[in-house]
Amino acid sequence: MTDNPFLRRGGDIASTPNRYERFALRDNPFPKSPTVNPLSSDPRENGEIYCESLRAYEQKQFERLLVPSPGRADAHLMAFLMDYATRRGRGIGKTAFLTHQRRRIMDDLGNELTGGNYVIMAAHLVPEGGGRTRKFWQFVRLIAKSFNDDNCISTALWRLRAFSGVIPQDVLARIDQNNLAETLGNDRWLDSHNVSPIFVLNPAVEQMLVKAGVSVELAKTLSRDGHNPSEFEQRFLREQSDPWWRQEGYNFVFNVLPQLFQAAGISRVLLLVDEVEKMVTPQNRYERTAFVDDVRRYFVDGAYLGVHNRTYGILWTIHPYVQELWQPYWYSAGLDRVCPIGGGTSQEFTVYFKPMKPDEAAIPLVREYMNHYRFDQSSRDSLTPFTNRAVIVALEKSGGLPGPMLTLLRIALERAVEYRWAQIDEAQIESIFSSMPPSEPDELDDTPETLSPPLTDLQGEG
């Protein structure tokens, strides 16, 4: 023990009283962070809490456009998700939507979604800001990193391990399909079941990759590290320089990885590209021309295996301003024949994401969050301490955007705990909202102001 405050240890947070117990809640059910973080362990922030019914129509459109099915084997190569809430601010829920689509696909590799007819995967791509993803080679690097982070590469390697013929059937029968990383992807687990990854399994997978067309060097790297995302990140992806990505990255993403996916029996991999404005807005006109031309070359008509096999499908998340910026370049590259970005037929290639209707969406969404943090089933579907009207008004005040509404409800619940409110009604929501900083008005006056006359006549002689 020491009296030095610098060396003190923190208190036992878990032993503190539950401030929300009188409302039959284990915690404040609404997220602290305004953004979705798939890597977070908090279900309020990682997209685990999701009310699927509120975006059922958009989900069906997404499936129609990009997910293959027996009656629609040739799903579109590309589609758009159009965010119509830009003027009202962030928080419409598109990132939560993309996270949910990726998760539901990866949970069973599209088995339920395609009726067992196709094996598909999906990765959620979030470009870096500050112009760090404005060049196409940077986008290619983002694809590879996202494939690794979202277990697309490792899942393909796990499948190759299972298909190799090296692992006995009795060991395959013990694999936990809900935790493949700790069974098929865990060398120690395999060793404990008398399967040698180093001397038997990895060489067998390497030969399968070489047979599929992968170079010996990359086949060795993938078979040794690809099953473990953290190892593959450390030993391969981080080791590649910018010049390597400019020169070799295209071959890796559009030839080598499709060879891997083909060998693993993967029918299609969906790229769910979020926040496209981070790529488009910093681009100058030459960069936009080059970027869109490369989109056509590497996804549509180039001499690459990924193009030939239609390995990839892409959902570009945009808003009207990005549509205006990209449209002339998109047409010049001929991509309107593949996926129109504007005009009459563009609606056939677009999932329109609009603000929610408060009367329809507010109560189901809030119930979904509160049910996750209820003590028991007896209080399930209760909005206590909120009144029905309170949550509807919260979504109205938030412009139909679920993100700001959840923030508003979190603040209201904290106030209820602090001031011992028995319930939270419409008046209290109105009061809290009026005390928050004003948002951008719905209508902007674009009329230029008239300048005052100059103090000095600059055109005169005096």
Domain co-membership, 159 together with 291: yes
Rounded Cα distance between 267 and 197, Å, is 27
Strands (E) in 150-221, as ranges, are none
Rounded Cα distance between 85 and 403, Å, is 12
Q: What's phi and psi for 168, nearest 5 deg?
A: -60, 155
Instruction: Kindly state whether residue 9 falls inside one of the protein's structural domains.
Output: no
Residue 24 structural domain: 18-45+357-434
Bridge partner list, 125:
273
- What confidence score (pLDDT) does residue 69 get? 85
pLDDT band at 376 (very low <50, low <70, confident <90, very high): confident
Domain co-membership, 182 together with 213: yes
Domain co-membership, 130 together with 96: yes
Residue scoring higher pLDDT (84 or 434): 434
- What confidence score (pLDDT) does residue 91 get? 83
Instruction: Kindly state whether residue 462 falls inside one of the protein's structural domains.
Output: no
Residue scoring higher pLDDT (73 or 138): 138
Q: What is the pLDDT of residues 240-263, one digit of tens each?
A: 999 999 999 999 999 999 999 999
Helical H runs in 267-401? 277-280, 285-296, 305-308, 320-332, 358-372, 388-397
The mean predicted confidence, pLDDT, of the chain is 91
Domain co-membership, 307 together with 382: no
27-31, 333-337, 424-428, 444-448, range with the lowest pLDDT: 444-448
Domain co-membership, 114 together with 220: yes
- What confidence score (pLDDT) does residue 14 get? 59
- What confidence score (pLDDT) does residue 444 get? 46
- What confidence score (pLDDT) does residue 462 get? 41
Q: How many domains does the chain have?
A: 2
Domain co-membership, 251 together with 312: yes
Instruction: Kindly state whether residue 457 falls inside one of the protein's structural domains.
Output: no
Domain co-membership, 76 together with 38: no
DSSP annotation of 143: H
**What is the value of pTM for the model shown?**
0.89
Neighbours of 281 (CB within 10 A): 13
Q: What is the pLDDT of residues 347-367, one digit of tens each?
A: 999 999 999 999 999 999 999
Which residue is listed with tokens 């059937």? 169
Strands (E) in 184-266, as ranges, are none
Final residue of a structural domain among 320, 353, 386: 353
424 pLDDT higher than 70 = yes
Instruction: Kindly state whether residue 31 falls inside one of the protein's structural domains.
Output: yes
CA pseudo-torsion sign 170, 176, 177, 180 = negative
- What confidence score (pLDDT) does residue 38 get? 81
Rounded Cα distance between 277 and 355, Å, is 19
